[in-house]
A = this chain, B = another copy of it.
Amino acid sequence: MDDLAEANKSNQDTINMGGGSPFPIKASREVYTSLFQELANSRAEIEKLYGQYSAPAGNQETRDKLAGYLRKKFGWNVSSEHVAVTNGNQAALFVLFNMLGGPNESAERNEILFPLIPEYVGYQNLLLPGLKVRAPKPSIQILNDHLFEYRVDFSRIQVTEKTAAVCLSQPSNPAGKIHSETDLKKLDYISNEKGAPLIIDSAYGAPFPNIIFSECPPYWSENTILLLSLSKLGLPGLRSGLIVASPERIAAFSKFSTSLNLAPNSIGAHILTELVSRGAIDHLCSQTICNFYQEKIAFASSKLISSLADTPCRLHHMGGGFFIWLWCEHLPFLGRELYSRLKTKGVVVAPGEEFFLGLEPDWSHGRECIRISCALPDTQLNVGIELIADEIVDAYR
């Protein structure tokens, strides 16, 4: 979190590959800005949006439209009662974790299970005292000389009566991991057996912004809580998102959220409603946003792979998102030290260690990784990757 502030403050010459800010893609900005102009010129509409508290679960039209979109596109059996507007995934997960799990020491369910680490570092700050992290080691599959992939190690996954929720990001932040439908079904099944929901944080995933480099529809069931965000569409300033879940969980979520916030903010939900009801969202995601990041990832990863060919480094298989997750096996020093050296050279990455939420500290892999954002202009991306590769090649010398 502090990195965000630091990166914002850092001097202009620093190449910031550490944060999760989306790139201001020109074609999508044009769409959003013209929607804002339309909105501002529709006096009745804008006055309703700023002048009224939203209903606790958000604007009814947004809930209707999103449910209709999900029914039509994926055949899900959902109504507006399955949808609530949120103030973004981070805020929504704070509510969900603590509503499902406590925050009381004596709560019956007091553990959040993350079935595959590394996982988004922000999750652990959302857990109030009394709520524990369970984050078993994944298995590592070596795909070839340059690529590896984490797999859920089901032999270590234990969902119990203490489990408040099972939670993962899809594609995962930081590694870009895409869980197969089979694995998600399995996780859903064993969660449901113990009365715990499967939370899927789709901040980078389907159905929007859909930064996924293969055919991969979103997973959903009545036991799933799917979180959707507007941030990586390029609208992070609006702090807006949605959740899709069973009507009972939506009702509980809205009640808890209302205590905290009175009402969700309404501008983001309006913009999304327009994108959905005009049928613009799918084209925007697949043609503009996903393509944009896929090209960045393709360029950066192939450059990195060829530069690091003589080192034992491997990249995680890039299933989606806009990060490269780099594993420097047998690195002669810690990942945090690599981060510091790179910072001195003028490039900020995210040290990998913190993403291994609550893991036993004796797993050296956890200190050999860094996360690199590719949401940068080409020239900066090129220079940044070069600096990173040079530093690592040096390190192994």
Using a CB-CB cutoff of 8 Å, which residues 114-151 of chain A contact chain B?
A: 122, 125-126, 128-129
Provided the pairs A51-B237, A238-B265 are in contact, do residues A1 and B33 lie with their beta carbons within 8 angstroms? no
Size band of the A side of the interface?
A: 35 or more
Residues of B within 8 A of A277 (CB): none
| Nearest B residue (CB) for A256 | B125
| Nearest B residue (CB) for A44 | B33
Q: Is A80 on the interface with B (CB-CB < 8 A)?
A: no
CB pair A4 B56 closer than 8 Å: yes
Q: Is A55 on the interface with B (CB-CB < 8 A)?
A: yes
Report the stretch among A34-42, A337-345, A348-356 that lies at the interface: A34-42
Residues of B within 8 A of A77 (CB): none
Helix, strand, loop or mixed for chain A's interface?
helix
CB pair B52 A262 closer than 8 Å: no
Q: Is A49 on the interface with B (CB-CB < 8 A)?
A: yes
Q: How far is the CA of A71 from the CA of B261 in the complex (A)?
A: 30
Residues of B within 8 A of A266 (CB): 237-238
CB pair A122 B259 closer than 8 Å: yes
Q: How far is the CA of A267 from the CA of B239 in the complex (A)?
A: 10
Q: Is A280 on the interface with B (CB-CB < 8 A)?
A: no
Using a CB-CB cutoff of 8 Å, which residues 275-334 of chain A contact chain B?
A: none
Residues of B within 8 A of A39 (CB): 36, 40
Using a CB-CB cutoff of 8 Å, which residues 28-78 of chain A contact chain B?
A: 29, 32-33, 36-37, 39-41, 43, 46-56
Q: Is A189 on the interface with B (CB-CB < 8 A)?
A: no
| Nearest B residue (CB) for A235 | B50
Q: Is A153 on the interface with B (CB-CB < 8 A)?
A: no
CB pair A47 B24 closer than 8 Å: yes
Provided the pairs A260-B90, A264-B239, A265-B265 are in contact, do residues A47 and B33 lie with their beta carbons within 8 angstroms? yes
Q: How far is the CA of A90 from the CA of B126 in the complex (A)?
A: 18
Q: How far is the CA of A270 from the CA of B266 in the complex (A)?
A: 16
Q: How far is the CA of A43 from the CA of B33 in the complex (A)?
A: 7
**With A24-B52, A90-B260 given, can you name 8 additional A-B contacts, CB distance below 8 Å?**
A1-B258, A5-B258, A29-B51, A49-B237, A51-B236, A52-B236, A90-B261, A267-B267
Q: Report which A residues bind B (CB closer than 8 A).
A: 1-2, 4-5, 8, 21-22, 24, 29, 32-33, 36-37, 39-41, 43, 46-56, 87-88, 90-91, 94, 102-105, 122, 125-126, 128-129, 231, 234-240, 255, 258-267
**27 residue pairs A–B, Cβ–Cβ below 8 Å:** A1-B56, A1-B258, A4-B56, A4-B262, A22-B51, A32-B51, A33-B40, A36-B39, A36-B50, A39-B40, A48-B237, A49-B237, A50-B238, A51-B235, A51-B237, A53-B231, A53-B237, A87-B265, A91-B260, A94-B260, A122-B259, A236-B262, A237-B263, A237-B267, A239-B262, A239-B263, A265-B267
